[in-house]
Amino acid sequence: MNKTKKEDKKLSDQELLKLESQYCSWGDTVHYAKELNIFTRCEGSYLYDEKGTPFFDLQMWYSAATFGYNHPRLRTALTRQVNTLPQLACQYLHKEKILLSAKISRDIEQKFKAKGRVHFNVGGASAIEDAIKVVRNHTKKNPVFAFMGSYHGRTLGATAITSSYRYREKFGHFADRANFVPYPYCFRCPLGKKKETCQFACLRQFERLFESEYYSLVNTKTRQCEYGAFFVEPIQATGGYVIPPKDYFVELKKILDRYKILLVDDEIQMGFYRTGKLWAIENYGVTPDIMVFGKALTNGLNPISAIWAKEELISPEVFPPGMTHATFSSNPLGTAVGLEVMDLIEGSDFATSVPLKGRYFVSRLKNLQKKYPQIGEVEGMGLALRIEICQKDGFTPNRELTDAIMNIGLSGELKAGGKKHGLVLDVGGYYKNVFTLAPSLYITEQEIDLAVDLFEEALQKAIATAM
Ligand SMILES: Cc1ncc(COP(=O)(O)O)c(C=O)c1O
């Protein structure tokens, strides 16, 4: 055993990658990239490889490490818990679980005037499964709506409400597949309209489906709809950080209320101040019936996820003991960090600093857009930012150029201040041509300048190699 450990220490990156190619499943997303890096350390906005090259991370673990890598306060909270109560079956109570549930529920009650409860799970998709259970239990209906371009996770239930057929194709027939409705993606309007003059044509189209029973959704005599809920992302995340027009959700909610369709708000990627508010849905002035969150709840340390549901959906009378369970769900390490995250948020100025930083970042990127027609669109809400990469016409999606920029970033060969840097970018979007930027909320103005410089260098190199 000891001998193997010593040998493992000596392995070079090349040797490790050789082992990876033989013994690791390729079924996850590692091999989306051409360049495979092995990282050894992380701090703030940076990942570091064995050679010590800093990789500026502009996606922060898909927004899970929203508060920066290795945050000292969160690390201390975790260590404190490791030293006191590191393990406990979720069948038994511990203080942190109770306090975290109370903090989140009180925050939501104060903001949305709705009393409710929190139920924990481990990952985002598992919490989505719990939300589906709550919907089915309350409405006694299985069919739900979700958006085209949606991503709610990769368990089978979450995959059924995730729009991409690629994720379902190999796994048999999904009888409970959601009814997918166009998202208000105004840069590429699904109806070919202009945002300024469309008057929510996509919503009106959805609304018309309730006019006749022959359109399949509703019995117009009883006003009973076959669908129990609409699962939404307040900003479409994997779909390309698509930001809906301000009043869209208010108008959607009016239609849902008419037919008693629950609004399930998936905050897994956009929650915890990514958009400048604790909950992204706060930007739109609607009250969801269920909220789902994960990722930044623990800043990616000892993950937990959760749902919050209105009291009438989750009170002990309707959702009694044993309705759902996972061994690691409300584990003490996760809830301790979650509680510290909530405390950190309470004492922060994120409500002002995040929108300010976001506006600065967008303005720097818009300057780049003036120089490079390949940048079709730049938009942001708080520090959820999108850069859409196109052909020279500024509209036709350019996946090849996007991939080239991403791989150049991962090569770690960019130069800033005479020093080698890497750049970590995440690609999303319906045509895989959108950089979805989710930097640390602690990013400084100087770091934004550096990030934009590194991005420009990668873009220039990619354009040069494409010519
Ligand atoms: C909006 C949204 N919902 C659900 C999920 C699934 O979360 P997890 O990967 O933790 O299962 C994700 C993950 O990226 C997400 O962005």
pLDDT digits (tens, 9 = 90+) for 22-31: 999 999 999 9
Position in ligand 1 atom list of the atom nearest CA 155:
11
Position in ligand 1 atom list of the atom nearest CA 125:
11
Q: Please determine whether the domains at 2-63+349-466 and 75-346 fall in the same fold group of CATH.
A: no
DSSP assignment letter at 242: B
Check if the beta carbon of residue 371 is closer than 8 Å to that of residue 452: no
User: What's the mean pLDDT in 441-450?
Assistant: 98
Give me the CATH topology for the region 2-63+349-466. Aspartate Aminotransferase, domain 1 (3.90.1150)
Q: How far apart are CA 319 and CA 13, in angstroms?
A: 50
Residue 249, Cα to own-chain centre: how many angstroms?
A: 18
CA of 151 to the centre of ligand 1 (A): 7
CA of 273 to the centre of ligand 1 (A): 16
- Of 278, 261, 292, 256, nearest to 150 by C-alpha is 292
Residue 294 CB less than 6 A away from ligand 1: yes
pLDDT at position 323 over 80: yes
Position in ligand 1 atom list of the atom nearest CA 154:
11
Q: What percent of the chain has pLDDT over 70?
A: 98
- Probe ligand 1: pick from 159, 232, 274, 295, max atoms within 8 Å of CB? 295
**75-346 CATH:** 3.40.640.10
- Probe ligand 1: pick from 122, 151, 162, max atoms within 8 Å of CB? 151
CA of 388 to the centre of ligand 1 (A): 21
Range of weakest confidence among 28-37, 45-54, 210-219, 221-230: 28-37
Q: Residues, the chain, total?
A: 467
Q: How far apart are CA 157 and CA 137, in angstroms?
A: 15
User: What's the mean pLDDT in 54-80?
Assistant: 98
pLDDT band for 466, please (50, 70, 90 cuts): confident
CA of 305 to the centre of ligand 1 (A): 10
pLDDT at position 78 over 70: yes
- The domains of the chain are located at 2-63+349-466, 75-346
Check if the beta carbon of residue 150 is closer than 8 Å to that of residue 242: no
Residue 151 CB less than 6 A away from ligand 1: yes
pLDDT at position 6 over 80: no
Residue 310 CB less than 6 A away from ligand 1: no
pLDDT at position 261 over 60: yes
pLDDT at position 34 over 90: no
pLDDT at position 7 over 80: no
CA of 161 to the centre of ligand 1 (A): 12
CA of 268 to the centre of ligand 1 (A): 6
Position in ligand 1 atom list of the atom nearest CA 294:
10
Query: Number of helices and strands (H, E) in the chain?
Result: 14, 18
Cut 0.95: pTM above it: yes
User: What's the mean pLDDT in 174-185?
Assistant: 96
CA of 417 to the centre of ligand 1 (A): 36
Among left, alpha and beta (phi > 0; psi -120 to 50; other), residue 60 is: left
Position in ligand 1 atom list of the atom nearest CA 238:
16
